[in-house]
Amino acid sequence: MSWENEINDIYRRRELARQQGGEAGIARQHAKGRLTLRERIDALVDTDSFDEIGRGAGAPEHGPNGELTGFTPANFVLGFARIDGRRVIVGGEDFTIKGGSPSPAGLRKSVYTEDLALQYKLPLVRLHEGAGGSVGGSGGPSLPAPVFAPSRFRSVAQTLKQVPVASAALGAVAGLPAARLVASHFSVMSETTAQILVAGPKVVERAMGEKLSKEALGGAGVHARNGTVDNGAPDEQGALDQIKRFLAFMPDNVHQLAPVRPCDDPVDRAEDLLADIVPRERRRAYDMRRVLQAVVDLNSFFEIGRGYGRSQITGLARLNGQPVGVWGNDCRHLAGSMTADGAQKAQRFIELCETFHLPIIAFVDEPGFMIGSQAEQDSTIRHGARTVLAAASSTVPWASVMVRKSFGVAQAAHYGPEAYVLAWPSAESGPLPVEGGVAVAFHREIAAAEDPDAKRRELEEMLAQRQSPFPRAEALAVHELIDPRETRPMLCRWIDRVQPLLPQLIPPAAR
């Protein structure tokens, strides 16, 4: 066999590549309670479905006679795989080699991950644990990239316009991997093993004089609550499970529609709890998540961004098997008002639905933009107006259910163009809630009255009557005033009606 030596070399290198950072490196990873990248991939994808690309990339070591004595694989692993039978591209940093800090071949492979997802038009999953560049360089002789090379981030940006991108932070993630982590449609961090950092404690202490642990700087307590990542998960497996759940709602790319599943939840299921979940006392809060869950297909609601912008609830769900975006106000948190961070979360949600052609159902209980000095400092109006404009420019079908309040400019964010609008008997709407409005418009009358408090209450009561949904129905300002128990049946009929509109949302192929 004339090629025997080379063939043996191929197998040898493959074997060395599979050993990752060696027994000691793997043991260190396990001792910290973390999986290795290859174990993570196995835990995520269908059994034996991982089809690796670029196993030979790395740095060889040779003996005096040119024979192979060792091989350090690239510290980024990527390939094709299947999740629930559907093909994806998956990749991530191998922390057991150089702490995931990009080696020349590792960097090349990480960039290729995005290129492959674009070429094959497949969802991209990145499993991150690694640091950014090292001041000592990436090791090995290399020239800086030529000026005519495309920007390293161009393909990262393109993936966000073309295919679903889901990412997880599973250990410490800093620098370039951290930027990649958040350049995604859905990101999740393990609350027990992950931190996300622009720069680690040593750099921060040197530059800023702040002495903080990795966890205090960029643990889940910080980043699962400020929108850096969408969700937290109790551990690595929990994070991987969330990625699977997210991808199940997604098409493979923007040229397809999201997969409709058979649904065994009856479309005419009418939940009695909906008839009295909204208290008659206008100040009394209720649990909007119960409303959402009672309407969408059983157990299909997947919440995104629960830890931040908490006055708004966003997520994905199914209606008669059709994936939809679901949005509701949480009146238990800041009365459900549109805060600066709630507005950013809602805008991200609308853009996700728009990119992947998911119809949106909105359950409206919007008292308006958050007010007060903190809200002004947060630039609530700027973020809020952007959300209103994102809704106004969207092209996906919308159905909006007026559950209770719908006030001010902020309410406009909850109704996309040509929205199908249903109102519950508890709906009240207008330019602003009566309590604030009365205090401003009638301040003289109230001040002049014998009993100002009684006068104010009388005026509030009178004006609250005018905000009733019946005149809106009479004026066809809502499509239908409904028994709340009819919400699911009516939305399921709507989702059936809009089916022929969905293929029209698909953009023409680039080539």
Partner 1 sequence: MATAITLETGGTVWKLHVKAGDEVSAGQEVFILEVMKMEVPYEAPGAGRVKEVHIAEGDVVTEGQTAIILSSS
Distance CA 139, CA 132 (A): 14
Q: Does 337 engage in binding with partner 1 (CB under 8 A)?
A: yes
Closer to partner 1 at the Cβ: 86 or 332? 332
Q: Does 331 engage in binding with partner 1 (CB under 8 A)?
A: yes
Residue 510: closest CA among 162, 124, 87, 250? 162
Closer to partner 1 at the Cβ: 10 or 439? 439
* Burial (CB count within 10 angstroms: exposed 0-12, middle 13-18, buried 19+), residue 5: exposed
Closer to partner 1 at the Cβ: 331 or 353? 331
Q: Does 335 engage in binding with partner 1 (CB under 8 A)?
A: yes
Strands 76-83, 86-93: pairing kind = antiparallel
Q: How far is the CB of 467 from partner 1 (least distance, A)?
A: 17
Taking CB atoms within 8 Å and a gap of at least 24, the contacts of 133-136 are 133/101, 133/102, 133/175, 133/176, 134/98, 134/101
Closer to partner 1 at the Cβ: 91 or 433? 433
Q: Does 280 engage in binding with partner 1 (CB under 8 A)?
A: no
Q: Which stretch binds partner 1 (CB under 8 A): 109-117, 279-287, 352-360, 412-420?
A: 279-287
Q: How far is the CB of 310 from partner 1 (least distance, A)?
A: 8
Q: How far is the CB of 131 from partner 1 (least distance, A)?
A: 31
Q: Does 511 engage in binding with partner 1 (CB under 8 A)?
A: no
Q: Which residue has the tokens 């070399």?
A: 9
Residue 168: closest CA among 217, 124, 120, 133? 124
Residue 181: closest CA among 138, 224, 217, 145? 224
**Exposed e or buried b for every residue in 366-386, given b needs 16+ CB within 10 A?**
bbbbbeeeebeebebbebbbe
Q: Does 215 engage in binding with partner 1 (CB under 8 A)?
A: no
Closer to partner 1 at the Cβ: 378 or 435? 435
For residue 254, CA distances in Å to 123, 245, 289 come to: 10, 18, 29
Q: Which stretch binds partner 1 (CB under 8 A): 34-42, 97-105, 203-211, 326-334?
A: 326-334
Q: Does 289 engage in binding with partner 1 (CB under 8 A)?
A: no
Q: Which stretch binds partner 1 (CB under 8 A): 119-127, 151-159, 329-337, 453-461?
A: 329-337
Binding to partner 1 in span 346-375, by CB under 8 A: none
Query: Site for partner 1 (CB under 8 A): which residue of 284, 418, 476, 510?
Result: 284
Q: Does 255 engage in binding with partner 1 (CB under 8 A)?
A: no
Structure tokens at 215: 């966890």
Helix (H, G, I), strand (E, B) or coil at 192: coil
Closer to partner 1 at the Cβ: 456 or 472? 456
Q: Which stretch binds partner 1 (CB under 8 A): 63-71, 232-240, 276-284, 468-476?
A: 276-284
C-alpha dihedral (115, 118, 120, 121), degrees to nearest 10: 160
Helix (H, G, I), strand (E, B) or coil at 10: helix
Query: Site for partner 1 (CB under 8 A): which residue of 4, 6, 48, 281?
Result: 281
Note whether 400 and 324 are within 8 A (CB): no
Closer to partner 1 at the Cβ: 285 or 409? 285
Q: How far is the CB of 335 from partner 1 (least distance, A)?
A: 4
Length in residues, the chain: 511
Q: Which stretch binds partner 1 (CB under 8 A): 85-93, 108-116, 278-286, 458-466?
A: 278-286
Q: How far is the CB of 308 from partner 1 (least distance, A)?
A: 13
Q: How far is the CB of 280 from partner 1 (least distance, A)?
A: 12
Q: Would you give the binding string for partner 1 spanning residues 423-452, x where CB under 8 A is met?
A: ------------x-----------------
Structure tokens at 205: 């202490």
Q: How far is the CB of 396 from partner 1 (least distance, A)?
A: 31
Q: Does 285 engage in binding with partner 1 (CB under 8 A)?
A: yes
Q: At what angle do helices 487-497 and 288-295 cross, to 10 degrees?
A: 60
Closer to partner 1 at the Cβ: 105 or 335? 335
Q: How far is the CB of 211 from partner 1 (least distance, A)?
A: 25
Q: Which stretch binds partner 1 (CB under 8 A): 58-66, 188-196, 282-290, 455-463?
A: 282-290
Q: Which stretch binds partner 1 (CB under 8 A): 74-82, 210-218, 334-342, 482-490?
A: 334-342
Ordered DSSP codes for 210-247: ----HHHHHSHHHHTSSSSSSEEESSHHHHHHHHHHHH
Which bin fits 474, alpha (ψ -120 to 50), beta or left (φ > 0)? Answer: alpha
Q: Would you give the binding string for partner 1 spanning residues 383-422, x where CB under 8 A is met?
A: ----------------------------------------
Distance CA 110, CA 106 (A): 6
Distance CA 150, CA 169 (A): 27
Q: Does 333 engage in binding with partner 1 (CB under 8 A)?
A: yes
The rounded Cα 106 to chain-centroid distance in angstroms is: 27
Closer to partner 1 at the Cβ: 96 or 339? 339
Taking CB atoms within 8 Å and a gap of at least 24, the contacts of 454-457 are none
* Residue count, binding to partner 1 (CB under 8 A): 12
Residue 186: closest CA among 219, 222, 228? 228
Distance CA 394, CA 376 (A): 27
Query: What residues line the site for partner 1 (CB under 8 A)?
Result: 281, 283-285, 310, 331-335, 337, 435
